[in-house]
Each structure stands twice: as structure tokens, then as C-alpha cells.
A and B are shown apart, each in its own frame.
Chain A
């Protein structure tokens, strides 16, 4: 059939001239920025709303959900009474609002950690106390955790986390796994950044509490030295939950110099 021929196919009808990386970067930046703005606005809203939740309700929440995990390791001893007394004295110094109570739990586990959670519960592990040389460093831990509770940080974190998960689920619709993964990364970094601000605020209050209680903040920096050794340095401050150890130590030292805060260190009592 000589009257027919197959024409040469013109190239580039379906192949875009644009470099694929350029498209990706534009998309990633645009969508990333949009998600960040929405997340930021809504989590800000959620945080402020979370603060309005009465402490009584937070206590009930904690009683239902969180506070049941660690009871078997709790010790009822002289040492626990000593810890509770210390916590109560420090709480009094901080002037907690009406109805806000602190419950301190001592756990006889070899974990170098202490944390505050919903309902005014503070957990301190023996592993951390073992590494602290004097009461002043221990008081810094407890005052720091009390400050978190005073600032309502646990419930704020919960409100923020719930909002973030909800928004990400909305955005990704559940079936686009890849987009979900990508957006998840943004959410993670934002959440960590927020926590750092709360940590810094709690540090400031804790130092003020120690200054009022002991008349000086000597020995407070030991806590961060211990934590720093335990974790090893985190490579990027932006990605770590707790602010860089060195900057926290520097903050303690500058506070001490401002307030002329040198004084006698108080020893820890005997415990097991």
C-alpha cells in the first residue's frame, strides 16, 4: 500500500520541558508552607483552648488514662516522703493556682529520667537520682517539672498532638500514603520546636524557684551536665526536644551571676 505511510511521531507532546526537580521543589515548598501555616494557626488555637480546661477535669482525665501504669514500682518509704515534702515546698514557692496539686511518684527503676504528665503527676526515677550529687540538682529537676504543670504544658501538648494528628489525617485523607509520610515530617519538626520553648520557660521558673528556696542557684547546672552525658550531644538543636545542654548550662550560669547566687550545697539523704 504505497499511498500510506506512518508519520514520524512528534516528540515532546507528553514530556514536559520543565525539570522534574523544579516541579517537586515548588510543590513541596508551596504545600509545606500551606500546611505549616494551617498547623501553626490551629495548634495555637488548640493550645489556648487546652489552657482553659479546668485542672479538675485534667485530673480526671489522668486518673482514667495515664495514671495506672507505674504503680507497682512506687515505693512508700522515708525517701519518698522526703521527695514529696521537697516537692510540696518547691510548689509552695512557685505559688501554684488554686486547686492545682502536685503528686510526686518515685519509681525504683534504673532509668535516667523524670517527667511531668497530666493531672499534676510527676515521676522521678531512681536512675536519675543516683547520678545527682546533691539536693540542689534534684530540686532543679522537681522545680522544672512543677513549672511544666504550672504552665499546663502536659494538657497543652496533648491538645496540640491531637489537633496535629487530626489535621494531618484530614489533609492526607488516609489513602495517599506517600503524601502522608511527607506531611508527617513537617508535623514532627513543628511539634518538637514547640516543646523546646516550653522547656526553656520551665527552666526559667525552676531557677527562680531555687533562688527563692535556697537563696542561690548553685548546683542547678549539674542536672544538665548529667543529662548531657546521658544523652550524648544531639547534633541539631532544631531537631531536639530539649534545648541543647550547653545552652541550658550557660543559662543557669548567667542567672547565677546576675543574682549573685553562690551558696552552700545541701546533701541528699540516705536512700536505697
Chain B
């Protein structure tokens, strides 16, 4: 009986706070993406050959986002039947965009206009530990190109 109550409380907490955090995060991501749109990010390894002499610098952005209890339960049930894990998809999208944004913020602070060789790494911090609520890390890095004044 108490187990059910604890379970439902955790679910409700996860649902309300997780949803609120996600909405807020997406709003902030959209706002900051608009702000840093002039900084161009390329997966291309090198800048075009006709580029004027520039300085370059490694820039990176790193984010860790935790799954909430509700998302984890829904995903856990979904793994029994298969299909899109929609509750994790939005989580990873947030992490990717946030990591790129943090990288761009660093580039902007260094006075760069473009970033080349942008790469993303992802890692699950709680890998293999089924008892824990999982979290995911996304790391974005690249070479910021800073024009010489």
C-alpha cells in the first residue's frame, strides 16, 4: 500500500517538475539560439582556403541533464513493447542544443564569428546502474576562428 503511494508521489513529482523544467529549458534555448545565430558552426574540418589570416582557439560546451522519474518509467514500459522513446528524444535534443549553445557562448566571448570542425560526444553517466535515475552528458567542441583585427 505504502509502496504504491511512494511510487505515485515520485511519478507526480517527476511529471510536474520534469515538464516544467523542460518547457523552461526549451524557451531559454530558443532565445539564446536567436542571440548567437551570427556565429556559424560547421562540421567541415578546415576553413575555406581563401580565408584571410586568422587566429584559432579550441572552444567547447558541456552539459549534463538528468532524466526524471516519470520519463524513466514511461521509457521502461516502452522498452517492453518497442518503439520511439519519445520521453528520451526530447531530453537528448535539449542536451545537444544546450551543449552547442555553450560552445558558441565561449566562441562569442573570444570574438569568433565561425567555428569549424564541430563535433559532439555523448555519454551516459549512470551506465549499467539500473537502480539509479539516469543522466546523459553531451559535449560539443570545435575550432573557433577569430579574425585578426
Contacts and interface: CB of A to CB of B under 8 A. Distances in A.
Given A6-B40, A178-B76, A20 B81 contact: no
Contacts of B114: 1, 4
Given A9-B33, A176-B130, A178-B72, A28 B77 contact: yes
B93 A27 contact: no
Contacts of B86: 15-16, 18, 20, 23
Interface residues of A, number: 32
B7 A16 contact: no
A238 to B, nearest CB: 11
B40 A31 contact: no
A182 interface: yes
Interface in B70-112: 70-74, 76-81, 84, 86-87, 89-90, 92-93, 97
Contact of B89 (A4, A14, A175, A185): A14
B41 interface: yes
B73 A14 contact: no
Query: Which residue of A1, A14, A16, A176 has the most chain B CB atoms within 10 A of its CB atom?
Result: A14
B4 interface: yes
Residue from B37, B48, B71, B86 with most neighbouring chain A CB atoms (10 Å): B86
A75 to B, nearest CB: 36
A93 to B, nearest CB: 38
Residue of A23, A31, A175 contacting most chain B CB atoms (<10 Å): A23
Contacts of A16: 84, 86, 89-90
- State the main secondary structure of chain A at its contact with B: helix
A181 B113 CA distance: 51
Interface of B is mostly: helix
A177 interface: yes
B148 interface: no
Given A16-B86, A20-B87, A31 B80 contact: yes
B19 A20 contact: yes
B1 A239 contact: yes
B92 A24 contact: no
Contact of A27 (B7, B41, B71, B77): B77
Interface in A127-178: 171, 175-178
B70 A24 contact: yes
A16 B93 CA distance: 12
A195 to B, nearest CB: 15
Interface in A14-47: 14-16, 18, 20-21, 23-24, 27-28, 30-31
A182 B8 CA distance: 10
A239 to B, nearest CB: 6
Contacts of A15: 26, 86, 89-90, 93
A8 B41 CA distance: 13
B73 A24 contact: yes
A24 B76 CA distance: 10
B81 A31 contact: yes
A71 B21 CA distance: 59
A185 B7 contact: yes
Interface in B107-128: 113-114
B73 A20 contact: no
A24 B73 CA distance: 8
Nearest to B91: A14
B23 to A, nearest CB: 11
Nearest to B11: A24
Contacts of B30: 11
Contact of B130 (A4, A18, A21, A175): A175
21 contacts: A1-B48, A1-B113, A4-B40, A9-B33, A15-B26, A15-B89, A15-B90, A16-B84, A16-B86, A16-B89, A18-B86, A20-B86, A23-B87, A24-B77, A27-B74, A27-B78, A28-B77, A178-B73, A178-B130, A182-B76, A184-B3
